[in-house]
Amino acid sequence: MRRLNHEEGAVAVIVALLTAVVFGFAAISVDSGQLYQERRELQNGADGAAIAAAYDCAKGVIECSLTSLELNNTIDSYASANANDGESAASIVELNLTESYITVETETLSDGNSFLTHWFAWIFGEDSATTTVRAQATAKWARTPGTLEIFPLAFCLDTFNTLTSNGEDFVGPPDYHVYYKTPSNPIVCPTTDDLYEGGFGWLDLEHSTYSLDPTTCTLTIDADEWMPGITGEGARINDPWPNCYQKLKDKILEMDANTNAAPLLVPIFDGWRGSGANGEFHIAGFGAFRPTGFNFGGSTHHPDNMACINPANRCVRGWFTDFVTFGGVGSAGAYYGVVSVDLIK
C-alpha cells in the first residue's frame, strides 16, 4: 500500500498527545490518591492526638499548657502513630482551659520536609510538584460528666471517699465489702475495717421518668438529679430489675477473664430525702466500680461462695477505679474518677 507523505510525523503527534493524556490521568489518579491517603492519616492523627491530649488535661496528670513538653510529646506521639511512615508534624492550635477544649493540627512530614512530593504532577509545572497537607481536630473534656449511661446501683459518697482517699487513689485491690442501706434508714457510711455500712442502694425506676434498657440493665441519667431509691427489705432488693443480677454477674466474669474490661459506671449519691416509697437519692456524679462479688440474699449471689462479712445484710464486693468514657461531657456532676472526652470537630 502506498504511504501518504509525512504519515510518520502525524503518528508521532498522536502518540505525544496520548502520552500527555496518560500522564494527566496518572497525575490525577495516583497523586490524588496519595493526597487522599495522606489527609486520612493526618485526620486520624489529629483525632487521636486531640483525644489523648484532652484525656491528659482532664485527669490532671500533666501540665496542660501550650508550652507543656509532656502535652506536646503526647500530641506528637499520637499523630506519628497514625502515619504509615511514622512521621507527622503536630502542634496545638488552641487550648482553652476555661471551656475545656483543645484543637490540634497535623501536617505532612516526609523526609524532613513539610510537603508531599507528587510522582507525576511535576510534569505540569513546578508549582504543582509539592503540596502541604493539614488536618485539624478539636476535643472537649470534663472531669464532671453531666450525663452518662449507668448501672442502677447507687453508691454512697462517703464510701467512695473512704475507698479512694477522697478521690485521690484509684490503685485497685484489695476489694471491699459495701453494705446495703436505704434512704428510709440512712447511715452515712461509717467504716470499720473493710465494712462500709449504708454503702449502696438500687434506683427505683418504677417511680422515675427514666427508662431502663432491659438488654443491658443501664439507663442514661443526669448528674445533680434526685432519683427514687428502692427502700425496705423486701425481695425486690435481691434482683430488682429483670436481667440486672445476670448483667452484674456477667461483668464480674468478663473482668475475671480480661483485666482491661471496662468497669461498671455507677451513680454516686451524696444525700437522700423522704422515706418509704418516697425515698430519693441525690445523684452527685458518676464513678467507675469494678465488682468482684455480691450477695443480695437467697440464691442471688456470685460467686457461689460469696458471703457478706455480716451475713444478715446484703453486700457488694469490689473497688473504685478511674476511667475515661466518650460522651456525656457536661458540668453538672462532680469528679469521682470518671473522665468524659468528646471529639467535637
Give the number of other CB atoms < 10 A from CB of residue 245. 19
- Check whether residue 189 and residue 54 sit in a common domain: no
Structural domain containing residue 248:
147-343
- Structural domain contains residue 36: yes
pLDDT at 194: 42
- Check whether residue 323 and residue 201 sit in a common domain: yes
d(CA 272, CA 63): 38
Cell triple for 282: 441525690
- Check whether residue 278 and residue 301 sit in a common domain: yes
- Check whether residue 27 and residue 174 sit in a common domain: no
pLDDT at 94: 93
- Check whether residue 85 and residue 157 sit in a common domain: no
The answer on pLDDT for 199 being more than 60 is yes
- Structural domain contains residue 23: yes
Cell triple for 70: 509532656
The answer on pLDDT for 131 being more than 50 is yes
| Angstrom distances, CA of residue 280 to CA of 153, 154, 225, 269 | 13, 11, 10, 10
- Check whether residue 114 and residue 162 sit in a common domain: no
- Structural domain contains residue 124: yes
What total number of domains does the chain contain? 2
The answer on pLDDT for 116 being more than 80 is no
| Three-state secondary structure string covering the chain | CCCCCCHHHHHHHHHHHHHHHHHHHHHHHHHHHHHHHHHHHHHHHHHHHHHHHHHHHHHCCCCCCCCCHHHHHHHHHHHHHCCCCCCCEEEEEEEECCCCEEEEEEECCECCECCEECCCHHHHCHHHCEECCEEEEEEEEECCCCEEEECCEEEEHHHHHHHHCCCCCCCCCCCEEEEECCCCCCCCCCEECCEEEEEEEEECHHHCCCCCECCCCEEEEECCEEEEECCCCCHHHCCCCCCHHHHHHHHHHHHHHCCCCCCEEEEEEEEEECCHHHCEEEEEEEEEEEEEEEECCCCCEECCCCCCCCCCCCEEEEEEECEEEECCCCCCCEEEEEEEEEECC
- Structural domain contains residue 2: no
pLDDT at 188: 46
40 vs 112, residue with greater confidence: 40
Q: What is the mean pLDDT of residues 111-120?
A: 51
83 vs 112, residue with greater confidence: 83
Q: Where does a domain end: 111, 126, 141? A: 141
Q: Rounded mean pLDDT of the chain?
A: 75
- The candidate with the shortest Cα–Cα distance to 108, out of 47, 48, 39, is 39
Spatial CB neighbours of 13, under 8 Å, sequence gap ≥ 6:
none
Distance from CA of residue 318 to its chain's centroid? 22
Residue type, 73: N
Q: What angle do CA 258, 200, 207 make, to 5 degrees?
A: 110
Per-residue confidence band for 195, with pLDDT thresholds at 50, 70 and 90: very low
Is the pTM higher than 0.85? no
Per-residue confidence band for 327, with pLDDT thresholds at 50, 70 and 90: low
d(CA 7, CA 72): 66
User: Which of 8-12, 86-90, 96-100, 194-198 is least confident?
Assistant: 194-198
Percent of the chain whose predicted confidence (pLDDT) is above 90: 8
Q: Where does a domain end: 114, 141, 168? A: 141
d(CA 206, CA 252): 26
pLDDT at 102: 93
- Check whether residue 192 and residue 165 sit in a common domain: yes
Q: Where does a domain end: 90, 107, 141? A: 141
- Structural domain contains residue 58: yes
| Angstrom distances, CA of residue 303 to CA of 218, 237, 294, 295, 308 | 22, 18, 8, 9, 12
pLDDT at 184: 46
- Structural domain contains residue 284: yes
Per-residue confidence band for 24, with pLDDT thresholds at 50, 70 and 90: low
131 vs 150, residue with greater confidence: 150
61 vs 131, residue with greater confidence: 61
- Check whether residue 52 and residue 98 sit in a common domain: yes
- Check whether residue 115 and residue 204 sit in a common domain: no
Task: Write the pLDDT tens digit of every residue in 36-72.
Answer: 677 788 888 889 899 989 988 887 778 888 988 999 9
- Check whether residue 128 and residue 247 sit in a common domain: no
pLDDT at 139: 92
- Structural domain contains residue 1: no
Beta strand 219-222 with 116-117 is unpaired
The answer on pLDDT for 91 being more than 70 is yes
- Check whether residue 169 and residue 301 sit in a common domain: yes
- Check whether residue 121 and residue 94 sit in a common domain: yes
User: Which of 17-26, 156-165, 305-314 is least confident?
Assistant: 17-26
